[in-house]
Structure 1
Amino acid sequence: MRALGISQDLRLQNGNRVNIWVSVMSYQSINAERSAETTCCYGSSKLRFRGPQRALNSPYLACLGGEETFGRFVESPFPGLLERRLDRRCLNLGSLFCGVEVLTQEAALLDIVNRSDICIMQMPGVLGQSNRFYRVHPRRNDRFVAPTPELIALYPDVDFTDIHFVRHLLTRLRAHSDARFELVEQELRKGWIEKLSTFLGKVRPPVVLLDLEVEDCALDTSSRDSIMRDASMIGALKPQCTASISLRVQASGVSDEIEDMLFGTLQQPVAEHMIGPATHRIIAESLARTIRDLGV
């Protein structure tokens, strides 16, 4: 999960930049437990997935991903819509704080995937991974745990004590506008490719890559990740996959789907940054066509 609406909040509120950032993230985390969606766990995994819990003793397709796969604030996320289109069970393994670290380090998740007929994997963002510069929480990959000695040596002029989220960290580092940030960026891009390639090498069923680029005009960039995936990164993974789909979609605040979403009164600022039900239908239809063509 990522920090949402930072630029917008800076324009609308008076106060310190850091305090505003942290309050937005804390607000989102608190309200995550008050959403209408049910969550569940599978096997020995401590991750919380979109519910209701499904049985694992009959054939299924496994849908891995983050908040878009989870389908926050929508009644029918694309895994459920895909199930109806294909008439095949689709397990929603979307997790709200899922990043590279969760996908590649959670052994129980890999076991569930390897019992599926097809794995549909939404590409994670670049930031949510531990690396030689910083560590993230093993399950909540948006959380910045600590800088490494290498990052402290690289940025001796930065105070890391008030930084709690990886987007905030990268924004702070990028603000220095010098060549040091390129080293961090290169490390993250390299780690992203290496970790996901290793993971895909362990996946036995056919894999369909789902690359979603979410347009959200309220944020500083067109993507909700401050370091974006590029074509070369996706291309490095394609040889290990059966098919891939790239879709540019819009957050509900841009697409005007907000009125069709389900959320509490205080949750609207967060819901505006999630994709809406019509977008989920577009994703499901695109996946259904691809999977039918595969004949798997």
Structure 2
Amino acid sequence: MAYEMQGAQPLDYAPCRYGASKLLFRGPKRSTEGRYAAFLGGIETYGKFIERPFPALVEMQTGMACVNLGWPNAGLDMLVGDDEIVRAASGAAVAVLQVPGAQSLSNRYYSVHPRRNDRFVQPSPLLRAMFGEVDFTEFHFVRHLLRHLSHVSSEQFALLRDELQAAWVARMTLLLRRIDAPVLLLWMSAHTPPEHAGDPEICADPALVTRAMLEAVRGHAAQIVDATLSHAARSAGIAGMVHSEFEANIAAELPGPAAHKEVAQHLVPVMRRFTLN
């Protein structure tokens, strides 16, 4: 059941480090020697408010050690820039990469924090020129900034969106090339990959990522696993999530245990083909 009273026992994420990485990942810590699977991604992979996130469920069902390298604020910049994550993923029998959104990466228009990629750092002169009427000091999070800019000028925002989508393809290609192991790209979302560049909403994760973008990087991955969440999983809401009353609004925006169970069911048969060889 969900803990909805302040003072309730919170989840123990058993934080741990791998190698020289500055990040604290979710434990229990697993060995990166021998055969194991590595999971890279954001807050869903980390399993915020989830007692057994999908990496743990996969471990239970396959018997293979699963190294959870999920990070709540992860974007492509953090994944590409952390050598320890790349090293751990490269040593795995198979790596699962949760498809990240295209908003949380540095580009020609703005820069993001190197580890907390959801944080907006500063605009470039190019973005200032495009949106001269905007006071960028008011924004601390990328998604908030993009939502505002889309309302200021849909035409200018379209140029920014195109830049983000092109940068995503380039950065994803770089990451996949750096990982010396079969990589499964995991599409974990409430919606299927959209067909048109203008369809993805900023608030719908993975933000701004289209089917064409996935196809552009498919050749560098072993397989794309479509784990679009069912209506039943989405409707389950926060049932089974462990959070305080103060955290209820945050938890409501994340997939719950039913969604994680579905994702594991999608992954297990695919992963077995790579891990049993």
Shorter-chain TM-score: which interval? 0.7 to 0.9
1:12-161 equivalent positions in 2, closer than 5 A: 36-161=12-137
Partner SS, residue 214 of structure 1: coil
> Could you tell me which amino acid in structure 2 is paired with residue 77 of structure 1?
P
| Offset from partner CA, 1:251-289 (integer Å, 9 cap, x none) | 999523423111112111111111111211111111011
> Could you tell me which amino acid in structure 1 is paired with residue 121 of structure 2?
V
Q: Aligned equivalents of 1:222 and 1:181: distance in 2?
A: 11
Partner SS, residue 249 of structure 1: coil
- Runs of at least 4 residues off by over 3 Å: 220-223, 250-254, 293-296
TM-score (norm 2): 0.87
The equivalent of 1:248 in structure 2 is 228
Is residue 263 from structure 1 mapped to residue 239 from structure 2 by the alignment? no
The equivalent of 2:214 in structure 1 is 234
Is residue 285 from structure 1 mapped to residue 261 from structure 2 by the alignment? no
> Could you tell me which amino acid in structure 2 is paired with residue 236 of structure 1?
A
After TM superposition, give the deviation of residue 185 of structure 1 in Å: 0.5
Check whether the contact 2:165–2:208 (CA below 8 A) recurs between aligned residues: no
The equivalent of 1:180 in structure 2 is 156
Check whether the contact 1:75–1:262 (CA below 8 A) recurs between aligned residues: yes
Partner SS, residue 157 of structure 1: coil
| Offset from partner CA, 1:57-107 (integer Å, 9 cap, x none) | 232110100011111111101001101111111111110000111111212
Q: Aligned equivalents of 2:178 and 2:137: distance in 1?
A: 37
Question: Identity of aligned pairs, percent?
Answer: 35
Q: 1:58 to 1:114 in 2, by over 3 A?
A: same
After TM superposition, give the deviation of residue 136 of structure 1 in Å: 0.3
The equivalent of 2:6 in structure 1 is none
Check whether the contact 1:36–1:262 (CA below 8 A) recurs between aligned residues: no
TM-score (norm 1): 0.82
Partner SS, residue 145 of structure 1: strand
Q: Aligned equivalents of 1:147 and 1:221: distance in 2?
A: 21
> Could you tell me which amino acid in structure 1 is paired with residue 215 of structure 2?
G
| Offset from partner CA, 1:178-199 (integer Å, 9 cap, x none) | 3211111011000000011011
Partner SS, residue 120 of structure 1: strand
| Offset from partner CA, 1:210-232 (integer Å, 9 cap, x none) | 011236xxxx9595349421110
After TM superposition, give the deviation of residue 143 of structure 1 in Å: 0.2
Check whether the contact 2:25–2:71 (CA below 8 A) recurs between aligned residues: yes
Q: Aligned equivalents of 1:158 and 1:253: distance in 2?
A: 39
Q: In structure 2, list runs of 5 or more residues that go unmatched.
A: 1-9, 192-199
Q: Aligned equivalents of 2:93 and 2:224: distance in 1?
A: 16
Q: Aligned equivalents of 2:233 and 2:154: distance in 1?
A: 33
The equivalent of 1:201 in structure 2 is 177
Check whether the contact 1:78–1:283 (CA below 8 A) recurs between aligned residues: yes
> Could you tell me which amino acid in structure 1 is paired with residue 106 of structure 2?
S
Q: Aligned equivalents of 1:262 and 1:178: distance in 2?
A: 39
